[in-house]
Amino acid sequence: MILWILLFLLILVVFGFGFTTQALWWVAAVLLVVWIFGFARRGRGRGGGRRRGGRRYSRRRG
Q: Kindly report, residue by residue over 22-45, the tens digit of the pLDDT.
A: 888 899 999 999 988 888 888 665
> For position 53, what pLDDT does the model report?
52
Measured between alpha carbons, how far is 28 from 34 in angstroms, rounded to an integer? 10
Angstrom CA distances, 8 to 3, 4, 5, 11, stand at: 9, 6, 5, 5
pLDDT: which is higher, 46 or 13: 13
pLDDT: which is higher, 49 or 25: 25
Band of pLDDT at residue 2, cut at 50, 70 and 90: confident
Residue 28's CB: how many other CB atoms inside 10 A? Answer: 10
The CA-based angle 16-19-9, given to 5 degrees, is 20
pLDDT: which is higher, 15 or 60: 15
